[in-house]
């Protein structure tokens, strides 16, 4: 099977890149599950962009840098905020419908934003609406094809460059070689690494694991954003209760009904996510509780149902009426700031291999992502990656599979528990070292006919090992990485750098090579 370009992942970054690529070549977009099952679909909060009269690029840039806790790569942030309005205009032209009132866009304010700059669609279904508009645009392009239920497991390599990938087709249970001039990894995040996560089941760090195995540089994966408010009902998935709830006035209370955020940060409920998550964990410890409460019941009932229809209906199905009572919440893994390191155009350190969206690390998020910047990153850097891939060299139709045919003995559930205990919200050297020891001595085996779960488990083990190695090396606390044994920041800020066969380093970023 041969195409000019292969895009792995059908979220916002992958679709936006594919639209550009299909203007000049044949494109295959591969989705591991249904085309609707991506992190984009679960993005409730919105998309941040400086559009209002009291806002500008500089303010958005400064808010992003502040949230990133000293580690943002400023040229990447400049690209994000300056190109954002152009990408929003594209979405509007392609049929995206953002919420309006009296003909004007409704702009919400979320945690750590100094202005109301977050566009929403359907109240709390922004990601779904953006994905819909991109997908419908993509369907109109004759050179663009889709393949769902196919998991890319390995890359094809020739003379040090990527020449395609190997996809595992779940329906036929066979592996298919896909040759391409360039490959884009837009596989989303790695939330399924953790016991508690808001991410869909497909978010198993595939892009990071695949890229690392071929020698690509991986950076800043120790920075994990734990969303403070996931619905906590034992035995149920951790459904995200959006940052926008607190932006619109929801209050955090302990199990005794007392507000507590004023004891931890001057911005109270609107403090950065890492601060709020640690504060909730501390308050749970102080009150010997399994959760805290998120209370919106003081707001108008009709407004709640209109502004947050999906959240309201989901909570109601679980027996919680947000117009009358508070919801039990607990932090959960939500977003990985690091990933496969790229330049400002999606190029990784391996020729022919590109990455965009949550799987990539441009440095735009630094140590802690500003709320609602992720969808914007997807459309901005997805477009940039697509433009850069058009310049890729001629197709190489040979190539050998580059992958590790051994699989970890550790179960998915064991890896998730280890990650939560040792590399979760609060970390120390002893806990991180236990994770590394368990992975390195957990045993491996050859599987004659591996399936998707086996490939996912291999990627989860790879990514957890990278997270642990970087977390152990970083003897400081910064953004989404908090060490109880090193609670202070260490300046100057440095990025983690991990490559197969090389020592883990903390470095100031040189030019990508």
Determine which one of 117, 238, 246, 273 is catalytic: 273
Dist CA 213 CA 109 (whole Å): 40
173 counts as catalytic = no
Q: Are residues 66 and 185 in the same domain?
A: yes
- Choosing from 378, 400, 422, the residue where a domain stops is 400
Same domain? 40 vs 68: yes
Single pTM value for the model: 0.92
Query: What token pair was written down for 333?
Result: 């893994």
Q: Which residues pair with 497 in a beta bridge?
A: 219, 505
Scan for tokens 């996912």, then name that residue. 456
Q: Are residues 61 and 163 in the same domain?
A: yes
Q: What is the dihedral of CA 434, 436, 437, 439, to 10 degrees?
A: 120
Q: For 230, phi and psi rounded to 5 degrees?
A: -105, 140
Q: Where is the domain boundary, 331, 346, 370?
A: 331
Q: Give the bridge partners for 427, in sequence order.
A: 483
Check residue 185 and give its pLDDT: 98
141 and 268, same domain (yes or no): no
29 and 111 together in one domain: yes
Say if residue 380 is in the same domain as residue 287.
Answer: no
- Whether residue 342 is found in the same domain as residue 253: no
- Identify the pLDDT of residue 398: 65
Residues 156 and 248 in one domain: no
What DSSP state is assigned to residue 439?
H
Whether 209 is covered by a domain: the verdict is no
Q: Does 274 lie in the same domain as 172? A: no
CATH of the domain at 159: 3.50.50.60
Number of separate domains in the chain = 2
- 308: its two tokens: 């947050």
Residue 444 lies in a domain: no
Q: Tell me the residue range of the domain where 243 lies.
A: 228-331
- As a whole number of angstroms, the distance between CA 181 and CA 176 comes to 17
- Residue 354 pairs in a beta bridge with 184, 347
- Could you list the pLDDT tens digit for every one of the 513 residues in the chain? 999 999 999 999 999 999 999 999 999 999 998 766 555 555 556 899 999 889 999 999 999 999 999 999 999 999 999 999 999 999 999 999 999 988 889 888 777 788 989 999 987 688 889 999 999 999 999 999 999 988 999 999 998 999 999 999 988 888 999 999 999 999 999 999 999 999 989 999 999 999 999 999 999 999 999 999 999 998 888 898 988 899 899 999 999 999 999 999 999 998 877 889 999 999 999 999 999 999 999 999 999 999 999 899 999 999 999 999 999 999 999 999 999 999 999 999 999 999 999 999 999 999 999 989 999 999 999 999 999 999 988 877 766 776 667 899 999 999 999 999 999 999 999 999 999 999 999 999 889 889 999 999 999 999 999 999 999 999 999 999 999 999 999 999 999 999 999 999 999 986 664
CA neighbours within 13 Å on the CB side: how many for 222?
29
> Do 262 and 357 fall within a single domain?
no
Residues 6+ apart with CB under 8 A from 414: none
Residue 455 lies in a domain: no
Query: Are 27 and 120 in the same domain?
Result: yes
CATH number at residue 292: 3.90.700.10
**Residues 494, 363: Cα–Cα separation, whole Å:** 11
């Amino acid at each position: 099977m041969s195409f000019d370009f292969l895009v792995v992942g059908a979220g916002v970054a992958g679709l936006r890149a594919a639209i550009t690529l299909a203007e000049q070549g044949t494109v295959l977009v591969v989705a591991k599950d249904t085309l609707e099952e991506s992190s984009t679909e679960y993005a409730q909060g919105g998309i941040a962009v400086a559009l209002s009269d009291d806002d500008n690029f500089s303010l958005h840039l400064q808010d992003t840098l502040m949230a990133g806790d000293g580690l943002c790569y400023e040229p990447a942030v400049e690209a994000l905020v300056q190109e954002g309005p152009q990408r929003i205009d594209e979405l509007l032209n392609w049929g995206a419908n953002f919420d309006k009132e009296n003909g004007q866009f409704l702009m919400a304010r979320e945690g750590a934003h100094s202005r109301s700059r977050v566009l929403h669609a359907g109240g709390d279904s922004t990601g779904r609406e953006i994905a819909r508009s991109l997908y419908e645009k993509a369907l109109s392009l004759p050179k663009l094809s889709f393949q769902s239920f196919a998991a890319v497991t390995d890359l094809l390599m020739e003379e040090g460059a990527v020449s395609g990938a190997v996809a595992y087709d779940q329906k036929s249970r066979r592996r298919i070689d896909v040759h391409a001039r360039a490959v884009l990894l837009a596989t989303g995040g790695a939330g399924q690494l953790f016991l508690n996560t808001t991410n869909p089941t497909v978010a198993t760090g595939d892009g990071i694991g695949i890229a690392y195995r071929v020698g690509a540089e991986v950076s800043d994966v120790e920075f994990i954003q734990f969303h403070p408010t996931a619905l906590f009902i034992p035995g149920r998935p951790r459904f995200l209760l959006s940052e926008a709830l607190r932006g619109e006035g929801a209050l955090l209370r302990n199990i005794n009904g007392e507000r507590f955020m004023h004891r931890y940060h001057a911005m109270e409920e609107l403090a950065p996510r890492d601060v709020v998550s640690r504060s909730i964990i501390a308050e749970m410890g102080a009150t010997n509780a399994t959760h805290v409460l998120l209370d919106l019941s003081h707001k108008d009932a009709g407004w709640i149902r209109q502004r947050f229809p999906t959240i309201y209906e989901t909570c109601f199905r679980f027996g919680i009426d947000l117009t009358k009572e508070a919801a039990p919440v607990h932090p959960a893994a939500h977003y990985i700031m690091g990933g496969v390191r790229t330049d400002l155009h999606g190029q990784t350190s391996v020729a022919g291999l590109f990455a965009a969206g949550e799987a990539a690390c441009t440095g735009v998020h630094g140590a802690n992502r500003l709320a609602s910047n992720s969808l914007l990153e997807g459309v901005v850097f997805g477009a940039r990656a697509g433009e850069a891939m058009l310049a890729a060299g001629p197709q190489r139709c040979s190539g050998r599979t580059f992958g590790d045919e051994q699989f970890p003995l550790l179960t998915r559930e064991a890896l998730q528990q280890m990650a939560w205990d040792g590399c979760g919200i609060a970390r120390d050297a002893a806990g991180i070292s236990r994770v590394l020891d368990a992975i390195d001595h957990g045993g491996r085996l050859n599987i004659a006919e591996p399936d998707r779960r086996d490939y996912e488990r291999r990627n989860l083990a790879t990514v957890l090992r990278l997270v642990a190695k970087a977390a152990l090396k970083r003897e400081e606390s910064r953004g989404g990485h908090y060490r109880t044994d090193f609670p202070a920041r260490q300046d100057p800020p440095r990025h983690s750098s991990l490559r197969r066969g090389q020592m883990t380093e903390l470095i100031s970023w040189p030019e990508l090579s």
